[in-house]
Amino acid sequence: MSYPVKAYAAHSPTGRLGLFNFDRRSPRADDVVIEILYCGVCHSDLHNVRNDWGNATYPMVPGHEIVGRVLAVGPEVTRFKVGDAVGVGCMVESCRHCGSCGKGWEQYCENGATYTYNHKDPIDGTPTQGGYSEKIVVADHFVLKVPETLDLAGAAPLLCAGITTFSPLRHWGVKPGSKVAIVGLGGLGHMGLKLAKAMGAEVTLFSRSPGKEADARRLGADHIVISTDPAQMAAVAGRFELIIDTVPYQHDVNPYVPTLASGGTIVMVGYLGPLETPFNTGPLVFSRKALAGSLIGGIAETQEMLDFCGQHGITSDIEVIQIQDINEAYERMLKADVKYRFVIDMASLKSEVSA
Ligand code: NAP
Ligand code: ZN
Ligand code: ZN
């Protein structure tokens, strides 16, 4: 039995998203069928829809911050039962046997992880379609348990914004007293502040936007630095062990390097691509600093992050929208006019009449 679903899809880089009907696959033995309740709206959805990365295929149903409840499970599934609160993030499959998969780094699968949308199912070759839809069918290895104590709408952004900031904080060994900075107060940035604070770090926000100070402090920042003010940048010279840069577009990374302590690392998670201003390696060499990158997180680490959020009562600050508002939400996200993540209430799809 396959599952006919209503969804919202993009059909071109410039068109508006609208109603799209398609069938989810018949569940395999290890599949979990999920009724989607909420789906976060990540800036990557916008990059994908608008073909910023040059690999878009249409129709495209975006969405990889998925939270819902289990509707059915295949006969081999033991970890989930009907009614459980579950999540799905950016990946729905990987080879499961390469070196990276063996380490629990499915996102770095040497044979290529399968993304939740804008990708191909490795078994049947059909396009993967994401969370702006009523239901999804996913292999149990890639399904996460969402703590029932968390607000489910606020938990949805943990599946991408949460893990993308949690993973570098853990990988680079943040502990109580670590001096950490986050660049950009958006969806990823606000989760970075909350998670770093909960790990006991002393947290700084770099923002190009004056006026975010009160919010940043509420979200966990101990200090705020306006990145366009050279005096404020100079005042934090040599301070940070770790900087996580969430800015989505090309920008000059050089000014952040002097703010690292010797041996510190700046991790790019936002922008993928060449830097316009040549990057000067000299300041790295002379102080053993590093420029690094990081992609979401592995499945076990994502579960660890969700459990951590359950223990610390951490969810995203969200603005709940109807699916019919998605095109306007994209325009607002481009202007950084969201505090701090849009989440689609998928019940709004029910009023749409299938063609
Ligand atoms: P977002 O909510 O739109 O936040 C981006 C923030 O960056 C803004 O709030 C703004 O903060 C700052 N910014 C600085 N210059 C900007 C500019 N020219 N345009 C827009 N914002 C600018 O985005 P997000 O959802 O957090 O995603 C951030 C980036 O991470 C995206 O490129 C996304 O594709 C990427 N991403 C990567 C991964 C990964 O695994 N590596 C996972 C998810 C998302 P201030 O106003 O405070 O400066
Ligand atoms: Zn994302
Ligand atoms: Zn692999």
User: pLDDT digits over 87-116, tens only?
Assistant: 999 999 999 999 999 999 999 999 999 999
Q: Say how many domains are in the chain.
A: 2
pLDDT digits (tens, 9 = 90+) for 201-225: 999 999 998 999 999 999 999 999 9
Claim to verify: residue 171 and residue 154 sit in the same structural domain:
no
Is residue 158 lining ligand 1, measured as CB closer than 6 Å? no
158, amino acid identity: L
Q: Which residues surround ligand 2, an ion (CB under 5 A)?
A: 42, 44, 160
- Atom of ligand 1 minimally distant from the CA of 340: 2
Claim to verify: residue 70 and residue 96 sit in the same structural domain:
yes
Whether the predicted pLDDT of 119 surpasses 70: yes
Claim to verify: residue 81 and residue 207 sit in the same structural domain:
no
Q: Determine which residue's CA is closest to atom 14 belonging to ligand 1.
A: 247
What is the model's pLDDT at position 47? Answer: 96
Phi/psi at 293 (nearest 5 deg)? -135, 165
Q: Determine which residue's CA is closest to atom 25 belonging to ligand 1.
A: 43
Cβ atoms of 221 and 207 within 8 Å: the answer is no
Q: By percentage, how much of the chain surpasses pLDDT 90?
A: 97
* Domain of residue 142, CATH code: 3.90.180.10
Whether the predicted pLDDT of 316 surpasses 70: yes
Average pLDDT for 267-292: 95
**Cross-strand bridge partners of residue 322:** 345
Per-chain mean pLDDT for the chain: 97
Whether the predicted pLDDT of 355 surpasses 70: no
Claim to verify: residue 151 and residue 238 sit in the same structural domain:
no
Is residue 267 lining ligand 1, measured as CB closer than 6 Å? no
Claim to verify: residue 63 and residue 199 sit in the same structural domain:
no
pLDDT digits (tens, 9 = 90+) for 148-196: 999 999 999 999 999 999 999 999 999 999 999 999 999 999 999 999 9
CA 95 – ligand 3 centroid, Å: 4
- Atom of ligand 1 minimally distant from the CA of 336: 9
- Atom of ligand 1 minimally distant from the CA of 42: 25
Claim to verify: residue 195 and residue 269 sit in the same structural domain:
yes
> Using CA atoms, how far apart are residues 306 and 162, in angstroms rounded to an integer?
8
Whether the predicted pLDDT of 354 surpasses 80: no
Is residue 62 lining ligand 1, measured as CB closer than 6 Å? no
What is the model's pLDDT at position 353? Answer: 82
Claim to verify: residue 138 and residue 21 sit in the same structural domain:
yes
Q: Determine which residue's CA is closest to atom 45 belonging to ligand 1.
A: 184
347 in a domain, yes or no?
yes
Is residue 163 lining ligand 1, measured as CB closer than 6 Å? no
Q: Determine which residue's CA is closest to atom 16 belonging to ligand 1.
A: 247
Q: Determine which residue's CA is closest to atom 15 belonging to ligand 1.
A: 247
pLDDT band at 276 (very low <50, low <70, confident <90, very high): confident
95 in a domain, yes or no?
yes
CA 262 – ligand 2 centroid, Å: 31
- Give residue 47's domain range: 3-160+317-351
Claim to verify: residue 79 and residue 64 sit in the same structural domain:
yes
* Domain of residue 167, CATH code: 3.40.50.720
What is the model's pLDDT at position 2? Answer: 84
Claim to verify: residue 99 and residue 151 sit in the same structural domain:
yes
User: Is the overall model pTM greater than 0.95, yes or no?
Assistant: yes
299 in a domain, yes or no?
no
